Amino acid sequence: MGIRVSHAYGEHLAVAAADGTEILRYVHRPDPDPFESPKPYAHPVRTLAGRTVTGYRPSDHRWHKGLQMTASHLSGQNFWGGNSYVHGRGYLPLPDRVGSMRHDGFAELTVDDDRLAFTEELTWVTRGGAGWARERRGIAVHSVDEEAGAWALDWSIHLTNTRDDPLVFGSPTTAGREAAGYTGLGWRGPRDFTGGTVFGPDLDGEKLNGSRGAWLACTAEHDEADAHSTLVFAHAPENLDQKSAIHESHWFTHMEPFAMIAVSWAYFEEFTLPPGESFAYRYRVLVADGAWDRDRVGAHLASLPW
């Protein structure tokens, strides 16, 4: 099944399935409010049947925007957006700590009949205007399978510290809040996904929060339509290899009172990136129609080579 790609120059890239259904919009011109940590994001993300599976600027957290790369605690700056967690004081509005990710351009962009792939250059900028890190981001849309009712989105990050000082990555949990590993690649679900079902290869529900594993799935039933959708978040094999990964990743899951999942790279412990050094991670998000079970998720992921 082929895809169609359009580019609103300076704004966004959009991918549509062969029948015209837009399944992904990647916005590279960030929303301007500095308190929301302006940065590129993917929204809306839809299934092949047109069901929206991302939320955007919800009333409870305006800085939650679809699927984004984030860093909630980074050497005193907040690249997540919104209030900053301070031990002993809770979440506080500290606008001087909220940074942004600047889109600098596309280094590569290729489109085939059934695949979009691009490389984006970004700079992580503090609220004071200092460039702290250079990111080379890879995005690919592929494996659009009408029979299975699913498609895949790959997201990679290669981040280099451009400061003269180390970059220290953490999360609200490393700052003192229990079970709050907000950081890394983060997804905000639409209202339909509140209270959704989460499971992994071996664990279910609340046991997944703070756990490690190759993948995590979330299913939910949509309002208005008699339909379910499934999202699967998966690690590339090297992410879980202790010899190659810079730091262990853990799942952060939060389904009440709203749906949030993050591939947290600093859930329990901080890690440091020295000046001039880099780290890299690769992830896959599977977007599917229907309520998939563990066996179906595992089999489909195994059929998609990295």
pLDDT at position 244 over 80? no
Q: What is the pLDDT of residues 41-94, one digit of tens each?
A: 999 999 999 999 999 999 999 999 999 999 999 999 999 999 999 999 999 999
pTM: 0.97
User: Nearest Cα to 131, choosing from 171, 160, 94?
Assistant: 160
CB atoms within 10 A of CB 1: 14
Q: What is the mean pLDDT of the chain?
A: 96
CA angle 83, 85, 88 (to 5 degrees): 135
Q: What is the pLDDT of residues 212-225, one digit of tens each?
A: 999 999 999 999 99
SS3 content of the chain, % helix, strand, coil (to 5): 10, 50, 45
How far apart (Å, rounded) are the C-alpha atoms in residues 192 and 62? 17
The beta-carbon contacts of 26-30 under 8 Å, at least 24 apart in sequence, are 26/139, 28/103, 28/120, 29/103, 30/100, 30/101, 30/103
Mean pLDDT within 243-262 = 91
State the DSSP H helix or E strand holding residue 200, giving kind and residue range, or none if neither: none
Mean pLDDT within 294-304 = 98
Q: Is residue 264 packed enough to be buried (19+ CB in 10 Å), middle (13-18) or exposed (0-12)?
A: buried
Q: What is the pLDDT of residues 283-294, one digit of tens each?
A: 999 999 999 999
Mean pLDDT within 17-33 = 96
